[in-house]
């Protein structure tokens, strides 16, 4: 399947769709998932056209992982989660719903189930508040 430049993450990168941005550098962009599986669910994407981990250049993949590592610690601290799950899905059969390679940072609490992937939108006020807290906690 060829990369679709009209996928929602490509539109977010071009500023054509809104997002709750929490980080951006020359190679990566990170924002809160509007349909979070848990409070603080964050997505990290590379600034390149790649559908899956198999399509992304190694330097962009490294940048995506570095950003994920840095942000996971901040998000975990801000939402006071004892754990964090890092997920990366490749292809529809694996559960990928947006075909632009990305990492999920999902805070976890023992005994707490997380919501189903891409099912329920979080309230905008909640996302805006969390965005402000994460931005304030960044180094």
Q: Which residues are catalytic?
A: 102
Distance of CA 15 to the CA centre of its chain: 16
User: Rounded to whole angstroms, how far apart are CA atoms 45 and 36?
Assistant: 16
User: Rounded to whole angstroms, how far apart are CA atoms 34 and 51?
Assistant: 20
3-state secondary structure 8-58: HHHHHHCCCCCCCEEEECCCEEEEECCCCCCCCCEEEEECCCCCCCCCCCH
Token digits of residue 54? 């198999």
CA distances (Å), origin 27, targets 57, 60, 64, 107, 115: 11, 7, 8, 24, 30
């Amino acid at each position: 399947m060829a990369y679709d430049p009209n996928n929602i993450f490509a539109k977010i990168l071009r500023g054509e769709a809104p997002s709750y941005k929490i980080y951006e550098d020359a190679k990566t962009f990170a924002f809160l998932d509007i349909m979070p599986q848990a409070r603080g669910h964050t997505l990290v994407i590379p600034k390149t056209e790649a559908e899956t981990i198999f399509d992304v250049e190694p330097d962009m993949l490294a940048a995506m992982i570095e950003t994920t590592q840095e942000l996971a610690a901040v998000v975990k601290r801000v939402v006071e989660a004892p754990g964090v799950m890092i997920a990366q899905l490749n292809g529809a059969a694996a559960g990928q719903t947006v075909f632009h390679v990305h990492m999920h940072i999902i805070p976890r609490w023992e005994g707490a189930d997380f919501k189903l992937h891409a099912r329920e939108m979080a309230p905008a006020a909640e996302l805006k508040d969390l965005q402000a807290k994460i931005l304030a906690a960044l180094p």
